Amino acid sequence: MKKLPFVTKEKVEEIVRTYPTPFHIYDEKGIRENVKAVKEAFAWNPGFKEYFAVKATPNPCLIQILKEYGCGCDCSSMTELLLSKAVGMSGNDIMFSSNDTPAEEYACAARMGAVINLDDITHIDFVEGILGRLPETMSCRYNPGGVFQMSNGIMDNPGDSKYGFTREQLFEGYRILKEKGVRNFGIHAFLASNTVTNEYYPTLAKQLFELAVELHRETGADIKFINLSGGVGIPYKPQEEPNDIKVIGEGVRRVYEEVLTAAGMGDIAIYTEMGRFMMGPYGQLVTKVIHEKHTYKEYIGVDACAVNLMRPAMYGAYHHITVLGKEEVDCDHKYDVTGSLCENNDKFAVDRMLPKIDKGDYLVIHDTGAHGHSMGYNYNGKLRSAELLLKENGSVALIRRAETARDYFATLDCLEVYDKIEM
């Protein structure tokens, strides 16, 4: 499918008069339509709740939109907990799915009444030590080890991942938690990332549902929810077939009835913690071409760099690029599209076929709505960009201002020196 941006060249030319490039822009209409589709896909399950993975796009304005549809937050750090609080989340609206967790973060989660999802059996004593006694509701993260594979060959390696309890630990953990007074139980697992297949959730769900039946039988634990976590992918490449959340929801419903309803456990709530699927396609990084360089290769230098979008540099991830105003022009030029970091991996694209690019062109880098701005950093003293929201009525709102050099100096003890520097 041809990937087209949700902003036009004319719109960007209008926006840059107020907000210079680079910036991430989000599409309110797309976010709303998608979250509605997610809700409908799981409407068969009365307890269903999506806990948006805050780390993907930690912007309160965007989380607020999801909250309107009943979404909660999935947090893994103190700051993410505070962000959730800032949008009015508390108690059962917050899932705390952390790992290697510092004591003060567990304490903060408990104070907010968040549901704590333990990553390891040793954390039972750790949390009890911090809180004095365990909360009534607790969840455990499961890692079956080995390889997680679906019939279409897509797979991941839980056996290599640092997360979760082993199977034996899970049974033992439930028994210990029960002895220590925990009354309501949850199961959580995240076994494959960015799965562009409708099979992932149903396959995972079947494993977890069967596990829930066994756990209940063997430990007597009252399982209230099963958390399918994140991992539902998006088509970064134009030739990929997008996931159909309706088909996914229906697939989960089928195994729910087969396994849970059949075992008399048909009142368990399904939770999800999607990040990428909720926001990824609805954010784009807009950047301006400031240089062309002709050496051993053809380079296009833009005013964004890997601090604005780390995925290509970090994972070699593909992000589609559109040259605004040249959507219909043939892609007959081969370029590396680079940022300005003193790092040769600071390339948004390598050997990418694109239309002929000229200085001053605006490029849209697609699918940056999740794990985009949020992975930003300050290497080379580069500053994180602004975040904008393209509203349903076509207007644009600033939802996070760009960092300034003064922000960078703010954590140093020479801020007063900065204020005297003449620019």
CB of 65 closer than 8 Å to CB of 28 = yes
Cβ burial, residue 351 (10 Å; 0-12/13-18/19+): exposed
Stretch that binds ligand PLP, among 212-220, 223-231, 299-307, 353-361 (CB under 6 A): 223-231
> Which of 105/273 has CB closer to ligand PLP?
273
Q: How far is the CB of 233 from ligand PLP (least distance, A)?
A: 7
CB of 358 closer than 8 Å to CB of 289 = yes
Number of residues forming the site for ligand PLP (CB under 6 A): 17
Report the distance separating Cα 67 and Cα 52, nearest Å.
9
193 contributes a contact to ligand PLP by CB under 6 A? yes
Residue type, 147: V
- One of 31, 252, 274, 300 touching ligand PLP (CB under 6 A): 274
- By CB under 6 A, the residues from 45 to 84 that bind ligand PLP are 53, 55-56, 74
> Which of 141/352 has CB closer to ligand PLP?
141
- One of 5, 158, 230, 339 touching ligand PLP (CB under 6 A): 230
**Three-class DSSP labels, 295-311:** CCCEEEEECCCCCCCCH
> Which of 347/366 has CB closer to ligand PLP?
366
- One of 77, 219, 229, 284 touching ligand PLP (CB under 6 A): 229
- One of 112, 134, 323, 370 touching ligand PLP (CB under 6 A): 370
Between strands 321-323 and 362-365, the pairing is antiparallel
273 contributes a contact to ligand PLP by CB under 6 A? yes
31 contributes a contact to ligand PLP by CB under 6 A? no
Label residues 386-401 b or e (16+ Cβ within 10 Å = b): bbbbbeeeeebeebbe
Q: How far is the CB of 275 from ligand PLP (least distance, A)?
A: 3
- One of 77, 84, 97, 219 touching ligand PLP (CB under 6 A): 97
275 contributes a contact to ligand PLP by CB under 6 A? yes
Q: How far is the CB of 194 from ligand PLP (least distance, A)?
A: 6
For 417, the token pair is 């020196």
143 contributes a contact to ligand PLP by CB under 6 A? no
CB atoms within 10 A of CB 239: 6
Q: How far is the CB of 232 from ligand PLP (least distance, A)?
A: 6
Closest CA to 15 of 392, 420, 390, 419: 390
Closest CA to 124 of 111, 112, 135: 135
Note the helical H segments in 17-74.
28-41, 60-67
For 322, the token pair is 């559109």
- By CB under 6 A, the residues from 280 to 309 that bind ligand PLP are none
Stretch that binds ligand PLP, among 12-20, 83-91, 226-234, 288-296 (CB under 6 A): 226-234
For 260, the token pair is 């849970």
374 contributes a contact to ligand PLP by CB under 6 A? no
Site residues (vs ligand PLP, CB under 6 A): 53, 55-56, 74, 97, 190, 193, 229-232, 273-277, 370
